[in-house]
Structure 1
Amino acid sequence: MPKRPTVASLKKVTPENLERLGAGRLAEILADVAQNRPELKRRLRMELAADQGAEHLAVEVDKRLASLETSKGRISWRQRGAFVRDVEALRVLIAERLAAQDAEGARMRMWQLMASHRRVTARLRDRDGALAAVFQRVAADLGDLLSAGDSASGGAALAEAIAADPLGWAPRLDALLQKVSPELAHVALVRLSADARATASWLPMLRALADATGDADAYRATFTAEALRDPSVAAEVAGRLLAAARLAEAGEVLEAARPKAGALKRAPEPDFAWESAWIELLERSGRPEEAQAARWASFERTLSAERARDYVRRLPDFDDVEAEQKAFEIAAAHADIGRGLRFLADWPAPAEAARTIAAREEEVGRMAPEDAEAIAAKLRVRFPDAAHLLLRKAAAAAFRRRDFATCDRLTAEADALAAE
């Protein structure tokens, strides 16, 4: 037999309980509340207009858009929440109600709402990013609306909008590009690249557009020859070429950026991203043994858990266990004990980490305090003695540095662990 609801539960403001009041009573309450809530009254009026058809809703939306465009008064912190909710409600009405009845009208008005961004954000301090989040959703909605229209006109409009407000579009372009077609992105890229107003600050947006087109050559063209010699840049470009199965060209880009030794110096360590791209190139070029050798060499140099896992999971049974144990030994004996313990804690290999702390207790004080705390947190349940020793040594090192605040914090954690 179902449990009867209590009086207290029936008084909670939930959709189910409010439904019991009936539509008439709820309408009276809502109309009464709206008299003192301008943003709620405006929302209700728009909802009523939407029921009368697209042309009636469009009139109400246009009034609000005009108000956003012409109003100049500052919005106080007390008004900020209501204002943000009002802009969000306008966005939803355009994206959902108006779009369902008049897609072209909704598209035009969503452009207007996005264009109001500069004037609107100048009127308040958006400390928590709530208004910025609304305009992120506006960009995504606009992408949905553009995807349903003509790519040529949509791409042209996007290029013009970006050129008119590059700072406003920079953080929002990705949200729109996730929704539009490669054809539309291509039109925008071509137009924006040829725009006389283009500056170096537009390059990130041009790259985002090139990525959205899926055109590796267009992405590559946004970098100078000098920039392509930077290993991290080369890794990005090579990644696009690899995705397009253009292995030879990816290899050329990576080779051109390979760190080279000077006349009297050995070659510097490779960039991690460059090395990742190089390993992928080896793997896809039918050279798995070389790829495995590169993974292991990278692990030995960096103690990267990512590299070790990629290496181990490609080994047959039993060989993987042996390789894993070898990795633990390398980490435990590493000259940088902090790096070695981070690897063991992250793997996770807590028993090996605990043994390393006991064997090298005089060295653990060299670790960064935040690393000592993080590793101790991972060891405290199964290996509390090792965690306690690590915290004590780190606290003592902090005391010697006269960093008394850190010393007190680590000591308090060690004491709490001892008490447990």
Structure 2
Amino acid sequence: MAIDRLLRFIATHERVFERIDDSYGHVQDVYHQAIAELGQLTPKLEEEIGLLPERIVEALGDSSHGYLVDVAHEVVDHQPKEVLRKWDADLAVLQQEQEAKDAKSKDRYVFSNASQYRDIRQLIAHVLGDLDGLIALEEKKHPNLQDTIGMAEHLLEAGRAQEAFGWVRREKTGGLKYVSASDLADGMMPQEATSSERVSLEARILEAIGEKDAAQTLRWSAFETSLNAGTLREYIAALPDFEEFSALDRAFALVLASKHIYRALAFLVEWPRLDLAAKLVIERRNEWDGGQYYMLPPVADALQHDHPLAAVVLYRALLNDILSRTRSKAYPHAARYLKKLDALAASSDAEATTVSGICSHTYYSAGLQKSHGRKSGFWALVKRN
């Protein structure tokens, strides 16, 4: 009875979402909580367990928000195998009927639940250990919708490395793209969201089929292109004993020489090698764009204690950008950066004596007064702080 009530509640989501703006996801969270509660109740069913799949499809079979699959995720592990096999057969019929109906439709954007039926059938195949059935369903998807990484992972775990290699190498177009803050700052194009995951998996598959050198070549090549810290860690972990030191030296030299300075800086902070991050900041001191305010402040904060001069270079870049563009809404940040510069003055000035081209704090402050003395809003905040 409790499960019936939860299903009835979950089924209201489409009508509710048509009438509200849930931009923050608060209402959606309530439905997710109900789905989780349903999953917790399922193991308590006894003779009624065989009725659950039919009740779920009856309540949510026409859902367009994916909650049918979400509910299936919660309950499928608790179903007896005979119930799962019957559910799969019933869903196969529903899927076939829906696909036949879709084929006759002239509406280009018609809603279809066939994909949800197929997704649940794949969940069932996974629970039943039917890897061939899982893959057969995946093969029927459009190539751009196939989970090539997931299929390769399943095959590798099953010891079918050659087949896994074929899946991980399948090319896809479209799909989710991703661009990090550092790549955006470097003007890089968005890349496949799973690119690093794909490289990692492909390298493991190569090792499984005895191509260890090819796996390492792939990892290093991917690192040269991406400067991804996780990829380098996997490369280092696969090296023979005592070879990691020379490999790290080579990697850090590559990073410091990279033309993608923001990607290089992000790598050195993540590794972490703050000493090399400071070196990069100082060596490329005239290239930092203070408009990259979503990336540079946390780096400057991380450097300020042990590498004050590098922090000063970044704080100055941020401050200069705000004042030169007269970004009055950012004046509170600018005042905070100047306060940071005041606090770092003694230590950064001492370090600056060994580096040419970086003026003292006194000289820099005088330049601010000369160039931006009329920005009264900024200077009022400075006095207040």
Provide the TM-score with structure 1 as the length reference: 0.61
Name the counterpart of 1:206: 118
Match of residue 60, structure 2, among 152, 155, 162? 162
Pair 139,416 (structure 1): closer, same or farther in 2 beyond 3 Å: same
| Cα deviation 1:251-289 (Å, max 9, x = unaligned) | 222344389xxxxxxxxx994343233112112223333
* Structure 2 residue 35 is matched with structure 1 residue 139: yes
* Structure 2 residue 256 is matched with structure 1 residue 358: no
Q: Distance in 2 between matches of 1:241 and 1:155?
A: 28
* Structure 2 residue 254 is matched with structure 1 residue 342: no
Name the counterpart of 2:158: 244
Q: Distance in 1 between matches of 2:92 and 2:333?
A: 55
| Cα deviation 1:216-270 (Å, max 9, x = unaligned) | 444444556784368x8422322232233322221222344389xxxxxxxxx99
Runs of at least 5 residues in structure 1 that lack an aligned partner in the other structure: 1-104, 260-268
* Structure 2 residue 223 is matched with structure 1 residue 299: yes
Q: Distance in 2 between matches of 1:138 and 1:179?
A: 18
Are the equivalent residues in 2 in contact too, given 1:144–1:179 (CA < 8 A)?
no
| Cα deviation 1:133-170 (Å, max 9, x = unaligned) | 33323222322333444664323333333313343625
Shift in Å at residue 205 of structure 1? Answer: 6.4
Identity %: 23
Name the counterpart of 1:191: 90
* Structure 2 residue 253 is matched with structure 1 residue 329: yes
Pair 238,175 (structure 1): closer, same or farther in 2 beyond 3 Å: closer
Which residue type is aligned with residue 417 of structure 1? K
Are the equivalent residues in 2 in contact too, given 1:140–1:179 (CA < 8 A)?
no
**Higher CA-based Rg:** 1
Q: Distance in 1 between matches of 2:285 and 2:115?
A: 51
Q: Distance in 1 between matches of 2:155 and 2:24?
A: 39
Match of residue 337, structure 2, among 406, 410, 414? 414
Shift in Å at residue 203 of structure 1? Answer: 2.3
Relative contact order (alpha carbons < 8 A, sep ≥ 6): 1 or 2 greater? Answer: 2
Which residue type is aligned with residue 361 of structure 1? R
Instruction: Give secondary structure in 1 for the equivalent of 2:61.
Output: helix
Shift in Å at residue 209 of structure 1? Answer: 4.9
Q: Distance in 2 between matches of 1:352 and 1:273?
A: 27
Which residue type is aligned with residue 160 of structure 1? E
Name the counterpart of 1:389: 313
Pair 210,300 (structure 1): closer, same or farther in 2 beyond 3 Å: same
Pair 205,329 (structure 1): closer, same or farther in 2 beyond 3 Å: farther
| Cα deviation 1:318-371 (Å, max 9, x = unaligned) | 322322232222111111100000000111110000011111111222883322
Show the 5 A alignment for 1:48-127.
Answer: 105-118=1-14
| Cα deviation 1:277-310 (Å, max 9, x = unaligned) | 3112112223333222211111111000110111
Name the counterpart of 1:228: 143
Q: Distance in 2 between matches of 1:389 and 1:121?
A: 49
Q: Distance in 1 between matches of 2:307 and 2:207?
A: 40
Q: Distance in 1 between matches of 2:341 and 2:72?
A: 50
| Cα deviation 1:182-219 (Å, max 9, x = unaligned) | 84555444433431346555525633551454144444
| Cα deviation 1:122-143 (Å, max 9, x = unaligned) | 7776665444333323222322
Are the equivalent residues in 2 in contact too, given 1:295–1:310 (CA < 8 A)?
yes
Match of residue 78, structure 2, among 180, 183, 194? 180
Which residue type is aligned with residue 115 of structure 2? L
Q: Distance in 1 between matches of 2:71 and 2:199?
A: 30
Which residue type is aligned with residue 132 of structure 1? Q
Shift in Å at residue 179 of structure 1? Answer: 5.1
Pair 169,256 (structure 1): closer, same or farther in 2 beyond 3 Å: closer
Pair 366,411 (structure 1): closer, same or farther in 2 beyond 3 Å: closer
Are the equivalent residues in 1 in contact too, given 2:61–2:113 (CA < 8 A)?
no
Instruction: Give secondary structure in 2 for the equivalent of 1:277.
Output: helix
Name the counterpart of 2:198: 274
Pair 326,406 (structure 1): closer, same or farther in 2 beyond 3 Å: farther
Q: Which moved more, 1:236-245 or 1:289-298?
A: 236-245
Runs of at least 5 residues in structure 2 that lack an aligned partner in the other structure: 100-110, 174-190, 344-385
